Structure 1
Amino acid sequence: MNPSDILILPGWQNSGPAHWQSRWEAQWAYHRVQQHDWQRPLRGDWNIQLEEAVLARSGPVLLVAHSLGCVLVAAWAAHSRNTHRVAGALLVAPPDLERDDLRPLLPSWTPIERRRLPFRSTLVASSNDPYAAEAHAQALAQAWGSEYVAAGPAGHLNADSGLGDWPAGQALLRALMPA
């Protein structure tokens, strides 16, 4: 699979240089889907950017989403006519945007889409993520038809979690790659 066909979908405020997504982008030449506004994300705008990134590739793509990027994948999949182009998705640390403390911060992102994804997916969640209870992540995995992987107590599975290059995540991604 061409590395540029692996689409990195960061969450709110993007992924900084120490984040595993940025490290993967630098190390493996994966393609980060750029958004117009990382600080005030609008679901419709982010959906368009993902749609254009998928359409810009000739072959199948893999989606590598973190946090809000996971919610983006579900929202996009519910409306796109191009989901057949996705070979799989790695969904890491989806937030609970319907919580009272998070809903006002990202108002265009609720309700969270809960339709079954039309492609293979693996959802990875931590038992102590400050943005979502593990039960929320398990419920999303079930609704989206994703394989659920418990990461243990690893926070938001971001740079603060000390994952470095996160080889365990890379193994999960490789398992989603088409043969």
Structure 2
Amino acid sequence: MAHDFSGFDYIIQPGWNNSGPEHWQSHWQQTLAATRVANHDWQTPQLDDWLAALDAAVAAATQPVIVIAHSLGCATVAHYAARYGNKLAGALLVAPADVERASAPAALQPFAPLPELALPFPARVVASDSDPFSLPLRSARMAALWQSPLHWLRDAGHINVASGHKQWQDGLAQLAALVADIRQQAQPRAAACA
């Protein structure tokens, strides 16, 4: 089934160490003609730098922006919303990394703690019940804080190449559902302005 992704600019926000050529984010970047955030340092991420790079990508967009984030990229989007407010049309947040967990690598510490606020734009969270970087309870808590619907994948690891998620065509259905949510929420606003 073909999905209609028109009317938006898509920005790929990878996580720690970027997403390699086989990662679903790289495949989606080509499929959607998306822009990848140009972070200067993927290995030792600095929150301010990552937020500035995401904001630069958003500023360069010519249509409403949907961010497609993975892992640490999801934490980046949460901080972005706290700092910049409602600049996005929406966000798909896949396998959010728990940057507050006791075993979190030191490199992720600049992203903790997560802001505890509802996202000011439509979002969907896709999480795995076997993610080594976020226990199900923590993934559910993040989705609840963000006030975003949560879709569970069974035994999907970190939803990356290591867990077999390369092109991840099934994931595009989650993106399509988010796009439908955004369009539906825009209709009452358009009607009110008419």
Q: Percent identity?
A: 43
1:55 corresponds to: 59
**Given the alignment, which residue of 168, 171, 176 partners 1:169?**
171
**Given the alignment, which residue of 68, 76, 79 partners 2:83?**
79
2: CA distance, partners of 1:146 / 1:57: 24
The superposition leaves residues 35-79 of structure 1 with CA deviations (integer Å, 9 ceiling, x where unpaired) of: 010000000110011111111113211010000000000000001
TM-score w.r.t. the length of structure 1 is 0.93
Residues 85-164 of structure 1 aligned to structure 2 (within 5 Å): 85-102=87-104, 104-164=106-166
Establish whether residue 21 from structure 1 lines up as the match of residue 25 from structure 2.
yes
CA apart distance, 1:29: 1.6
Establish whether residue 67 from structure 1 lines up as the match of residue 71 from structure 2.
yes
CA apart distance, 1:98: 1.1
CA apart distance, 1:103: 5.1
2: CA distance, partners of 1:95 / 1:133: 9
Residue 89 of structure 2: SS of its match in structure 1? Answer: strand
CA apart distance, 1:30: 1.2
CA contact (8 A) 1:138 1:148 kept: yes
Letter in 2 for 1:33: V
TM-score w.r.t. the length of structure 2 is 0.86
Establish whether residue 11 from structure 1 lines up as the match of residue 22 from structure 2.
no
The superposition leaves residues 96-123 of structure 1 with CA deviations (integer Å, 9 ceiling, x where unpaired) of: 1111221523221111112100001100
2:186 corresponds to: none
Backbone CA RMSD of aligned residues: 1.4
CA apart distance, 1:152: 0.9
CA apart distance, 1:2: 5.4
Q: 1:146 to 1:96 in 2, by over 3 A?
A: same
CA apart distance, 1:164: 2.6
Aligned residues: 176
Contiguous gaps of at least 5 residues in structure 2: 1-5, 184-194
Q: 1:126 to 1:150 in 2, by over 3 A?
A: same
Contiguous gaps of at least 5 residues in structure 1: none
